Amino acid sequence: MPDKPTVSYDEFAKLDLRVAKVVTVREHPNADKLLLLEIDLGPLGSRQIVAGIRPYYPDPQSLVGTEIVVIANLEPRTVRGQTSNGMLLAASSDDRSQVIVLTTEQPIAPGSAIS
């Protein structure tokens, strides 16, 4: 049984899932658990996202150049003074001792749609 309520296909279809290439990563100046990622979404342009993955990536620079999966049409949100224009997708263990950012298996152009 899922932890969250069932959604219709139409609700799911509203999400714009895209491949983004991580261009830069820096630590959030006011939060120990957050990273600021500049991502390239190809024809959709570049933007910043704020992600709570800092404890799981002791070398955040290892993410630079990685192709990740993001929700590109999420309403912007200010997190501890920084604007997040999207959300990366990650998998986590039940006890959250492990969190892994979802990436592509093979290279594909930034901005590629996920369906």
**Residue extents of the structural domains in the chain:** 19-101
Global pTM exceeds 0.75 = yes
The share of the chain scoring above pLDDT 70, in percent, equals: 98
Is residue 110 scored above 70 in pLDDT? yes
CATH topology of domain 19-101: OB fold (Dihydrolipoamide Acetyltransferase, E2P) (2.40.50)
For residues 27 and 11, is the Cβ–Cβ distance under 8 A? Answer: no
DSSP 4: S
Q: Tens of pLDDT along 58-104? A: 999 999 999 999 999 999 999 999 999 999 999 999 888 899 999 99
Confidence of residue 47 (pLDDT cuts 50, 70, 90): very high
* Region 19-29 average pLDDT: 96
Q: How far apart are the first and last CA of the chain?
A: 24
